[in-house]
A and B are shown apart, each in its own frame.
Chain A
């Protein structure tokens, strides 16, 4: 079981700020593929990987990063701070 968080337009497209997901996905990319297969709203959020970023336990990560031991995954668009 892991917490999956969504921010900004990823959150708006999926319609949830966070959810618990029971998954066997070994990497971030496997989790994305699994979510995209669920429902249209996930496909809308994850359709363009160029404009998607991911953090694992609050550290930026790559899509090929392993999920073993990870408790919190967050998906969001490129950041616009400052």
Chain B
């Protein structure tokens, strides 16, 4: 498994290809990518704050939980922080398994947990000013299915 919390952009294609090339015996690779919503062009930038130290530990614990629960060959999480522009990739998750069901389920599990249990906070900057993105009740409720 690999967990990267970084300010730098990442190359979705290169990361996906390298991940797929590294999982011997896997017949399925699932990737998910989150992009900054530009709100129809109204967004000037997004600032992502995080809790250095806790972020890496919390994500590693989620990935370990996923690896214990599903039959995975490998898993990858990359999450950015700092200032991003509209449409920029914020994060990606990749999972690999022998058959696709495990990879799909583990990727959804990781996404649900990253939303509400990884210590990141998003702030949207626009012509109207700066506003912290509020957590959604649906995201908290999504954890109950696991």
Inter-chain contact A79/B121, CB cutoff 8 Å: yes
**Complex: how many Å from CA A5 to CA B52?**
11
Interface residues of B (CB under 8 A from A): 34, 49, 51, 53-54, 57-58, 79, 90-91, 111, 114-123, 132-135, 139-140
Q: Which residues of A lie under 8 Å from residue B120 when comparing CB positions?
A: 79-82
**Complex: how many Å from CA A55 to CA B134?**
19
Q: Dominant SS at the B interface?
A: mixed
Inter-chain contact total with CB atoms closer than 8 Å? 67
Q: A8-B121, A9-B132, A58-B57 are in contact. Are A78 and B51 (CB under 8 A)?
A: no
A63 within 8 A of B: no
A81 in complex: contacting residue of B53, B115, B123, B132, CB < 8 Å: B115
Hey, what's the 0/1 contact readout for A41-82 against B, CB within 8 Å counting as 1?
000000000000001001110000000000000101111111
Interface residues of A (CB under 8 A from B): 5, 7-9, 55, 58-60, 74, 76-82
Inter-chain contact B91/A76, CB cutoff 8 Å: no
Inter-chain contact A7/B111, CB cutoff 8 Å: no
Inter-chain contact B51/A81, CB cutoff 8 Å: no
**Complex: how many Å from CA A60 to CA B57?**
11
Taking the nearest CB of chain A, how far is it from the CB of B76, in angstroms?
Answer: 15
Inter-chain contact A77/B135, CB cutoff 8 Å: yes
